[in-house]
Structure 1
Amino acid sequence: MKMPKMIESSGSRLSRRELIMLTALAVLVQLYFLFYQIGLPEFQRYAQAKQVNDARKVSVAKLKADYDNIEAFRAELEQALVALEAKKMELPAYIAQEETLLLIDGLAAGAGLTVGVIDYDSLEILQEGAYLSGIGGAARGGAKDAEEADPAEQAAGSTPQSSFLVADQRVSLSFTGSYEAMYAFIDSLEQSNRRVYAKSLALSSDDEGRLSGSLALSFLSHVDVLSIERFEMDLEAINGKNRPFEPYAGYLSTLGKEVIAPQPALRPDFTLYLNSYLDNAPKVIFSDSKTAAGQLPMDENRVANIKLTVSPSAGGFRYTATLGGSTLRSRAELSAENGEIIIEVIAQDRRGARDLVGATLDVENNSDLPVRIVVSRDDAQNPRFQLGSVAGSVSLE
């Protein structure tokens, strides 16, 4: 018996074309997965790294160019610092009333002018831009008394564009002296390293030709309200200052048998002032103390070389003094009190190793009068004054 032949169904088979399409679809799915899960993140990291690398190359190129010009930059910086220090000396960041008192007193003593009452009229704070453009009147919000004016308060309502202001301190003083002394004093003020201007002058003279009058001055400073300085003055310790009615170190309850007579006040013919390098007045001042013929100033932090030549005259002496390229001569024949020529030296204590101010005095005495040099004050550890070469009768005390 023959078995019937089974008929195979062709419905469950994939055709060749369908198999190829399924294989291609599987490959595309794998490629999609590889690209978005592995390839794309790696490409993004590569792009970021390339961008950072390009930026670093630009920075390195700029740094190399700057390094090649570093010497030029240093030279420009040094020039800018020197110019800045000069401007700070001309228009300081802050000038206190105590400092103006010392400046006026020192220059008046050097010129031989007697200053009476010093009055601080007002302190005006002006916007820097308004002051420089010459329209300060519109920026002035009213002057205050010098004791009440506060730069920080006056700057509170200013615009935030700049914290720098110009302070105009008005000072008036009365004086007596000769015309030469007055001229030398005003000239010293306007030639000082601070911005000081003589605004007005009133004069009168007596029958002997001696002048008296009043002078109005203007002290300018550049105020930074974000960093306002304060004046500090070094004072020497004085025994018994705190408790004047109680015994102190060195106090004597009874006097000894010998009572020392008071010494007469020294009346020098010449005065040599040696200030510290921090003072705003000239560092070295050599002046004719009696006739107020003028002075020889030097405003540098170094040792000055001064030469004084004394010549004989029928009724006394004449002199010639030189300091650097400046010369000071007697305008008339001078007489010496007590038969001697006195030079007084007044020097401040040094303010540290950077304080190099000093003076070497050479004296050539061709007259019959002895020259006596009296050092009233000097630094005990490192004296500022030195006596150089001498000729003739010269003594040092």
Structure 2
Amino acid sequence: MNISKREKYLIGIFLAVLICFVYYQFVYTKQVEKLKVVRAEKESVEERYNDVMKAIANLDAMEEEFKILKANVLGKSEKLYPVIMQEKIIIELDELLNDSGLNGNIAFSPIEVSPAEKLVSPEIKKTESSLKAFVDEYNGNVSNTGESSSNSANGQGGTNQENSTTTEQLKVAINFSGSYEALKSFIASLQNYERKIVIPSISITAQSEVELTGVMNLEFHAVPKIDDQDIDYLIWSLNNIYGKEILFSSGEASGAYASTIEEQSSEQNVNDFVMMLKSPSSELPTVTIGKAKDDSRGSYIYSDNDGIEAVEISFEEVDGNTFFKYKTTTSYYPKDNSPEGMQFIPKSENIVLEILSENRVETSDNSGINLKVINNTSKKVEVIIKNDDSSNPRVSVTSEGYTVNVTKK
């Protein structure tokens, strides 16, 4: 069969189109689908890579935030019990009663887990003059009063909604008798005790000029602790022989409660401010500063710096009153950053700042502070540095203004 040149040309075009169609349908399309999948995987990997790089870039900031958060948690839970142990609480209360000279019988309620109650003093409404409403209306205070009442109600409602934090609680009622001085001593010992003991209510009746009786309600709160905090509290230290071999015999108990838990040191603390320095390898921030005996730690600020941190603390005297403020490179106190600072009353004739340092852990441990103390008061500022590294100290102190004494121990 003879095929013309034109027919050969058309057949060639047809074959070329057929080959292109087959290639597109069975090769190109599949390759395009694979390419889309690979591109999607590439974008996913790039996104994960970017997230990882951001996390790595923020690692130091996150570690500092973690340390500060941990320090806050440790500080706020420090005075709470790790667990309610009724046996130990009996011993603690018995010791406090004996030390104060107050007689008391103790009754316990069952241990329960419930929201912590907020103690709110009742609002006292005073009788007002009938003309006050007209005066308020004239002064334009009527609407403000309504708004204030509304805000107060909303605030109380919000408090009830937010008060959902639960603790392990033990409620104790003490029927006491003794002198007024003994009662004051017992209350003071509760307020100054190493653990938080709440006195929600107390009733007192006079038996004579020198004798009082009454009922005092106490609350003990416990929360779980982190990093084995207060692990020593869980160790039972009374290992004597308890009770009697024959329960109702006339003999005395053979040594029950002959030993007690070691008492906390009663050395008087005259520090006005405290500062703690740690190595970068510590789980706590490298610098912590705040007012001494601040159980709420509201005055504490932190910094986590692998190198030298600049810290400034200043004292001003205005009209016979003493003010303080301090700052690091990242935070300051008071939070409003007022020019004068926060007013305080020194615990002694001098202003005392105690710095608790520690030896350097390794050669790469370079953390420390350059402390600048500004004293614009008539008092001396005593800076006491304890346990600093002898060969490479963490603390360097400069001063400005009046007398600043530095003592290393």
Is the TM value for this pair above 0.5? no
Give TM-score, length-normalised by structure 1.
0.43
Structure 2 length normalisation: TM-score? 0.42
